[in-house]
Chains A and B, each alone.
Chain A
Amino acid sequence: MTTTAHKHSSAALPSGGAGRPPGPGLTERLSTVKRKDALTGYAFTAPTITGFLVFVLGPLLAAFYLSLTKYNILTAPRFVGLDNYIRMFRDERLATTYGNTVLYVGAAVVLINGFALVFAVLINQRLPRALTYIFRSAYFFPYLVALVYVSIIWQALFQKDTGILNYYVAGLGGEKIDWLNSPEFSKVSVIIVDTWRNVGFSMLIFVAALQEVPKDMVEAARMDGANEWQVFRRIIIPMISQATFFNITITIIGAFQIYESIIVLTRGGPGDASRSVVMYIAEVAFNKFDMGYASAIAVTLFLIIMLVTMVQFRLRKSWVNNE
């Protein structure tokens, strides 16, 4: 990512050589070229920018506005000031769903990226080509399958009395676990399925990064007597830190919006024990038709994700290796 950005900037600014003042005529000519370049650039980015304005910024501003109103879709929005925001502090269901969401985010960051790294390292071993492809596809597969279909299989695994997991749990003498409908284990089930589903994507990113690690550097280290762990810790980890950063950012943003995995498994139950904040937003918006309040919650979620992402980009300097 940064390497390409770097290339672009150096290509766009050919006059950037330090200490070499450009001649008088040269500046003018270059700036026409630059202007043309800029125009082409804008033309190329226009579709994205239009899309961003229409589908992201527009709705975002609308949500900000609606969060200050009482709006049930059928009658015109009525301005109520900060009422919706004040209401949030008394909403126990919101507190529960936010709590669950934070747990899901924490679990996603650790488990998805942890497993993804392990799988990526395993796949990156010297294996026959065909085998590498098979493993890579196998791990990536869950990401491609519509969760709604897969849910039938997971439910068959998790079901308390007829499920396959509990068949073995009981067979080993354990107490049957209510994976789908106990306040604690419903969350665990969601985390398992969410990890299973998303580990492949992060793994692919890690695999790509691992293949970029210079072989000579690793060999040089080995030559100097470094063992496998030292090579991994001192060379591989720093060399793939950009991929790690990308993966962590993506999993955090994704996990804050976790929805499908819960819907198909527990529908948020029992009660709100496994419900995420996005599910709660959907319920308030489309079941209770309380668009104003739903927008207010959506705005807080937006701000939280933005804040977390900003903090990450701040911290990035301290651990991400830029070239």
Chain B
Amino acid sequence: MKRSLGVAVATMAASALLALTACSGPQAANAPAADGPYKAPAKDITATISVSNWGDPSDKAVYDSVAARFKEKYPNVTVNNNFTPITTWTEYVNKLVTQAAAGQAPDVINIATEGVQLGLDNELFASMDGFLKNDPEAKTLQDKIDPKLLDGFRKDGSTYLMPNTFNTMVIYYNTKMFKEAGIARPSDDWTWDDFLEIAKKLTKGSGADKVYGFALPYYSFGITPWLYSNGTSMMSDDLKASQLTDPKFQETIAWVRDLVTKHGVSPQPKGSDPYQLFPAGKAAMTGAGHFVTGGFKKAGFSDYDILPWPKNSTKATVFGAGAFAISKTSKNPELSWEFIKMLTDQQTQKKWADAGSAVPSTKTAASSKEFLASPEHASEFYNSLSYAKPVAAPGAYNVLDPAFMRAMDEIMSGQDIAAALKKANQDVEAALK
């Protein structure tokens, strides 16, 4: 039986393996050029660098094109592109931490805001300060990136990661269904109440013909805009204290729950995929980042447009950025740096924009004709960054995320909000210690 070889044994095996390898853990990297002029590695250098990547399959094409370009510049360098399709950030970070503990961390790590703090806490990344200061090419690269994106990747004044793309949560709405119901596009300053009123109007039918006003994005990143637009967050601003028991927080969660249980404008989120309900015309609105557009295009669905997230007390939404870091254990930091430069330069930025899985980190690429082609208000993707806040991801995100979603499940099943969040808060507080 497959599962009789199950996880209990796997846990034992893994922990034993790690116990054996832990002593050979992270070693000091060759210090990247701290001072003096930066010299790129020689063209004929022979080496292998490995990259740990995530994302959806359309991203793979971008990576492959960069790898091909890199091969032209360094013909004797082999790039091992390890592509991991991920389901949750927690799993990805866990994998990297485990690899690092076994001394097998890749040279270049692709990671997102959610995992950055954990990576920094575990000293996965090497500082890029030397390169940024001394490599003339670094300046042009950095200048074109929104400072807000770079800010999230600094610690104690040092920069550790170079962002390539980001996602903000916005509201997607079905233009055809709005038109049929005689609902005009709401203003960019619309409120929770406006949202609910529209959602109620669009909820109709029964049985197999039932259509919902809103398909709830049911994951931490997708629930966060409700929190931010009500002036609360899972964590304090310095990411040191958990705020799951904050009254404002509970109020927000009650609002989200009521969309399902009280107003019935959203289907029970467990087991349903908003990004299938929405293009199938079973939900008139949903919330998502830019990452769904690729799938919609492939499914031939184009009757949609985007809106800023509605506000309650504040106009706000969440963003998470993807970025590249040099592993602290890399034996080829210079080559890794060269590769990262190529992954984030303008030529690749355009490719990120075309791939349709995230918004490119430079305004230049996000203003290209191709990027703005559809939907009608596609400029809102980059514009929303101006009022977005980074996703609250402390080093203990690997505990925070499952604990919060565990509480959400309980709340959605009708259990007490305060009690469920209190339990989750205890879990997070224990992990923050």
Report which A residues bind B (CB closer than 8 A): 55-56, 58-60, 62-63, 65-66, 71, 73-77, 155-156, 158-163, 167, 170-171, 178-183, 198, 201, 250, 253-254, 257-260, 265-273, 278-279, 281-283, 285-289, 291, 294-295, 298, 301-302
Contacts and interface: CB of A to CB of B under 8 A. Distances in A.
A161 B23 CA distance: 52
Interface in B1-47: 1-4, 6-9, 11-19, 22-23, 25
13 contacts: A55-B9, A62-B15, A71-B19, A73-B22, A181-B409, A250-B4, A257-B7, A260-B3, A266-B270, A267-B405, A271-B420, A279-B7, A294-B11
Interface of B: 1-4, 6-9, 11-19, 22-23, 25, 90, 94, 97-98, 100-101, 122, 207-208, 210, 212, 267-268, 270-272, 277, 282, 398-399, 402, 405-407, 409-410, 412-415, 420, 423, 431
A298 B8 contact: yes
A180 B271 contact: yes
A58 B16 contact: yes
A162 B409 CA distance: 18
Nearest to A144: B2
Given A271-B410, A283-B402, A178 B268 contact: yes
B264 to A, nearest CB: 9
A60 B12 contact: yes
B338 to A, nearest CB: 29
B15 to A, nearest CB: 5
Contacts of A301: 8
Nearest to A201: B1
Contact of B267 (A158, A159, A250, A294): A159
Contacts of A178: 268, 270, 413
A261 to B, nearest CB: 8
A77 B15 CA distance: 11
A288 B399 contact: yes
A270 B413 contact: yes
Contacts of B7: 257, 259, 278-279, 281-282
Contacts of A289: 94, 97, 398
Considering residues B210, B270, B402, which has the most beta carbons from chain A within 10 angstroms of its beta carbon?
Answer: B270
A160 B409 contact: no
A272 B406 CA distance: 8
A245 B398 CA distance: 42
A250 B420 CA distance: 37
Nearest to B10: A282
Contacts of B19: 62, 65-66, 71, 77
Contacts, number: 170
A269 B398 contact: no
Considering residues A56, A270, A294, which has the most beta carbons from chain B within 10 angstroms of its beta carbon?
Answer: A270
A158 to B, nearest CB: 6
B270 A73 contact: no
Question: 8 tightest A-B contacts by CB?
Answer: A62-B16, A269-B409, A161-B267, A270-B409, A160-B268, A257-B6, A59-B12, A63-B12
A275 B410 CA distance: 13
B3 A258 contact: yes
Contacts of A159: 267-268, 270-272
A271 B406 contact: yes
A62 B98 CA distance: 17
Nearest to B20: A62
Given A66-B15, A271-B409, A285-B14, A278 B271 contact: no
A169 to B, nearest CB: 11
Given A74-B22, A271-B407, A160 B270 contact: yes
A259 B4 CA distance: 10
Given A178-B268, A181-B270, A254 B3 contact: yes
A282 B406 CA distance: 15
B8 A74 contact: no
A266 B405 CA distance: 12
Contacts of B13: 55, 59
B208 A167 contact: yes
Given A73-B97, A155-B271, A282-B7, 7 more contacts: A59-B16, A73-B22, A180-B271, A181-B413, A182-B414, A267-B409, A270-B410
Nearest to A61: B16
Contacts of B413: 178, 181-183, 269-270, 273
Contacts of A180: 268, 270-271
A281 B267 contact: no
A158 B267 CA distance: 13
